Structure 1
Amino acid sequence: MPKWAKFIIAFLLLPVCFGALKTLWLVLKASESADTFWAIMLAGAACWVVIFYLLPKPMWVYVFGHELTHAVWTWLFGGRVKKFKANAKGGHVVVTKHNFLIALAPYFFPIYVALLVAIFAIGHLIWNWKPFEMWFHLLIGAAYAFHVTLTWHILKTRQSDITQQGYFFSSVIIFLGNIGVLIVGLPLLTAKVRLLTAMEWWFRSTADVLNRIGNLFS
């Protein structure tokens, strides 16, 4: 798809972005009573932020996760990974499937958070890890902060994934992806709002934005 077409698509997605922002606010408001969850998760995030600023950045861990995300999304779309390389200086994967989601997934999909959720879910199912839920939330906070800080860090340099897709299109997709992860993840983690309710809020918020835009031209 040519970049000019992606630019138009990104522009048309802007109302969805505004709807997502409003929805995230509604989800946060609905989840604010989950005091224990927020306290522990934010503590985990704070721990990582201290590490991020005071200690050498573990770039090889980030790069491995970055390339693994490309690989995972390639598998999700039915492709194959032919080559995988990751180290502190950089990495790359050779895959048989290509699309904008595979290219941009590392910038919005927190792979280490997903791995933690999968491990805890399996462990809880088999061994009843309810007593370790506090540590799970702590690690979730740290892992998500890891994703946000190091993604922001590498975005300060030129990324071929983004230049190939176009800056505006990539920005919109990355924004939507990150907000979408929170809109889906917070209801599941806090259990204070149903996921379907959050999706309904997103739909209605986007429709409201479109109605407001329509009123400007009526």
Structure 2
Amino acid sequence: MVRLLKLLIALLLLPTAVLTFAQTVRILLAVLGQLSAAVSFIAGLVVYSGIHYGYYNFSRPYVFAHEITHALAALLCGCRIKDVSIGQDSGYVKMDRCNAFVVLAPYFVPAYVIAAALVYVIADLFVDVSPYRQVFLFVIGFFMAFHFIQTFKTLFEADQPDLKLAGGKVFSVVMITLANLVVLAVVLKALFPETVSLLEAGKNVLAGTVNIWRIIVNYIVEKAINAA
């Protein structure tokens, strides 16, 4: 019953995910249009991608971030951690219980991006870090590419038991996609506040979702009336 409910939730959110994708692409294109401001961020994306596919895939750092994020999400939800294992290509976290958030957190929480941002913010409390903004943008771009490439690889190059545990592949993929799009939009807003308008994007997604479901409901009602 729970799995069926989650499938229904995923189907209900599918139009929202598609519209969020469109709005996030619009935001990304606006940022890329500000080339002088975004060049370091773009360079970070490109450099990580080149290293990953050409030299080293960063599997152990990803496994570390993945399992630690599982563990932190579990602690945040009040779960008790029994054991944590981190290997070269795989790992696990044993806990007394879990939920969909705990299971899926590593797939949409960019751990190294958050860590880099915290270092930058904390350092700014003691010294002026504004001269290093371009370095910070490069680092964030590097780790955003790390997060998205590793997440895609983990989801689609292996049969992930996490997806089934969270409530099924359809539910998990829709939630991960939607969450990652929101995370990317928020990161871009934080980096380029004058270029990105999350309020406008949110309004567009909400209005579009309502319109799509209005069309679907009207179509179903019309078919039902005609059939009767």
TM-score by length of 2: 0.86
Q: In the alignment, what sits opposite 1:180? A: 182
1:210 to 209, 213, 217: 213
Higher relative contact order (CA 8 A, sep 6+): 1
Q: Residues of 1 paired with 2:42 and 2:32: CA distance? A: 13
Where do 5+ consecutive residues of structure 2 fail to align?
Answer: 223-228
Deviation at 1:44, TM superposition (A): 0.7
Q: Residues of 1 paired with 2:9 and 2:217: CA distance? A: 18
* Within-5 A mapping of 1:98-137: 98-137=98-137
Q: Residues of 1 paired with 2:211 and 2:125: CA distance? A: 41
Of the two, which has the highest radius of gyration? 2
* Within-5 A mapping of 1:6-45: 6-45=6-45
User: Taking every aligned residue pair, what percent have the same amino acid on both sides?
Assistant: 32
Q: Residue 83 of structure 2 aligns to a residue in which SS?
A: strand
Q: Residues of 2 paired with 1:122 and 1:157: CA distance? A: 38
Q: In the alignment, what sits opposite 1:81? A: 81
Q: Residues of 1 paired with 2:26 and 2:153: CA distance? A: 29
Q: In the alignment, what sits opposite 1:163? A: 164
Deviation at 1:127, TM superposition (A): 1.4
CA RMSD of aligned residues (A): 2.1
Q: Residue 127 of structure 1 aligns to a residue in which SS?
A: coil
Q: Residue 83 of structure 1 aligns to a residue in which SS?
A: strand
The question of 1:66 aligning with 2:69 is answered no
Q: Do the aligned partners of 1:34 and 1:190 also contact (CA within 8 Å) in 2?
A: no
Using a 3 Å threshold, how does the CA distance of structure 1 residues 183 and 214 change in structure 2: closer, same or farther?
farther
Q: Residues of 2 paired with 1:75 and 1:103: CA distance? A: 12
Using a 3 Å threshold, how does the CA distance of structure 1 residues 128 and 198 change in structure 2: closer, same or farther?
farther
Q: Residue 158 of structure 1 aligns to a residue in which SS?
A: coil
Q: Deviations over 1:163-201 (max 9, x none)?
A: 222111111011111111112221111012344444333
Q: Residues of 2 paired with 1:17 and 1:188: CA distance? A: 21
Deviation at 1:139, TM superposition (A): 0.7
Q: Number of aligned pairs? A: 218
Q: Residues of 1 paired with 2:102 and 2:176: CA distance? A: 12
1:209 is aligned with what amino acid? I
Q: Do the aligned partners of 1:20 and 1:205 also contact (CA within 8 Å) in 2?
A: no
